[in-house]
């Protein structure tokens, strides 16, 4: 599970929407939009799925680099 992130249209900062989803589910939702309270400018922003992305919280370097030895 990850968090759906959007970019604040006012400041360009990345803000979490507070909505949890995984990439598969998110990509399958065709008509999907939301309204998120922005902690940066303290206003509500409407956004569409095409402007949003899922950020997975866990990054495992081992899965990226495989079993290659780190020298
Ligand atoms: Zn904002």
Residues within 5 Å of ion ligand 1, judged at the Cβ atom? 8, 10, 38, 40-41
Predicted confidence at residue 6, as pLDDT, reads 96
Predicted confidence at residue 51, as pLDDT, reads 93
Separation of CA 56 and ligand 1 centre (Å): 22
Separation of CA 35 and ligand 1 centre (Å): 11
Predicted confidence at residue 35, as pLDDT, reads 94
Separation of CA 4 and ligand 1 centre (Å): 15
Predicted confidence at residue 60, as pLDDT, reads 66
Residue 54 DSSP label: E
Q: Tens-of-pLDDT digits for all 71 residues of the chain? A: 899 999 999 999 999 999 999 988 888 876 678 999 999 999 999 999 989 999 987 666 666 566 666 56
Separation of CA 58 and ligand 1 centre (Å): 26
């Amino acid at each position: 599970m990850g968090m759906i992130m959007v970019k604040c249209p006012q400041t360009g900062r990345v803000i979490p929407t507070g909505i949890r989803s995984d990439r598969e589910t998110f990509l399958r939702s065709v008509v999907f939009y939301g309204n998120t309270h922005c902690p940066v400018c303290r206003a509500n922003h409407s956004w569409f799925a095409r402007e949003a992305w899922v950020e997975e919280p866990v990054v495992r370097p081992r899965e990226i680099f495989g079993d290659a030895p780190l020298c």
